[in-house]
Structure 1
């Protein structure tokens, strides 16, 4: 049984491109399937005012909550970027690091 994922979009309707990227990134967590039962991904569009001479625009905040097989929740750090794909990849990078650390501690 694989790792399931629920996606929530905040501040925008989402897109097929973001869902495809999220699905591709979820594959990276499959190696933790004996430990994880699922994850919740939230992608939020945040209006960004002018900053250091750059015009106003959007930032995307991607964050993951991982659910273990024992129903514990592991919150992963927020990842911000102007490109939602980069924010997603960074969130899954952080999730992998967090899971590796957690499992290393449990084995010690």
Structure 2
């Protein structure tokens, strides 16, 4: 990556362990697309007022030439996302899929419909 990774925490204290996991996952993104310009990761803890279903939200914004890739892992209420590590893993898995799709479009492997 040309620009350093930006990690933000919302409603939670910064954790060196979580930050290390994010840095490890982000470093692997270069394998799928080597021209990544930036990567911003936001990890949001649930509000303290919730007693059940405290699901972490992870947002990844990846800057690439042509079109940015945005992953927002908060969609369906997946109870596995009560663990921040699982939420991070799922978000980066989705980011990899979107990067692979972006690379296929750039290479012309995906057919485009005539207007």
TM value normalised by structure 1:
0.80
SS of the residue 2:13 aligns to: coil
Specify which structure has the higher proportion of strand: 1
* Separation of aligned partners in 2, 1:99 and 1:40: 15
Contact 1:2-1:33 within 8 A present in 2 as well: no
Contact 1:3-1:29 within 8 A present in 2 as well: no
Runs of 4+ displaced beyond 6 Å: none
SS of the residue 1:77 aligns to: strand
- Superposed displacement of residue 83, structure 1: 0.7
Match status 1:63 vs 2:59: yes
Paired residues, number: 102
Cα-Cα RMSD = 2.2
SS of the residue 1:76 aligns to: strand
Unaligned runs of 5+ in 2: 109-115
The one of 61, 65, 70 equivalent to 1:75 is: 70
Partner of 1:14: 14
Unaligned runs of 5+ in 1: 50-54
- Superposed displacement of residue 2, structure 1: 5.5
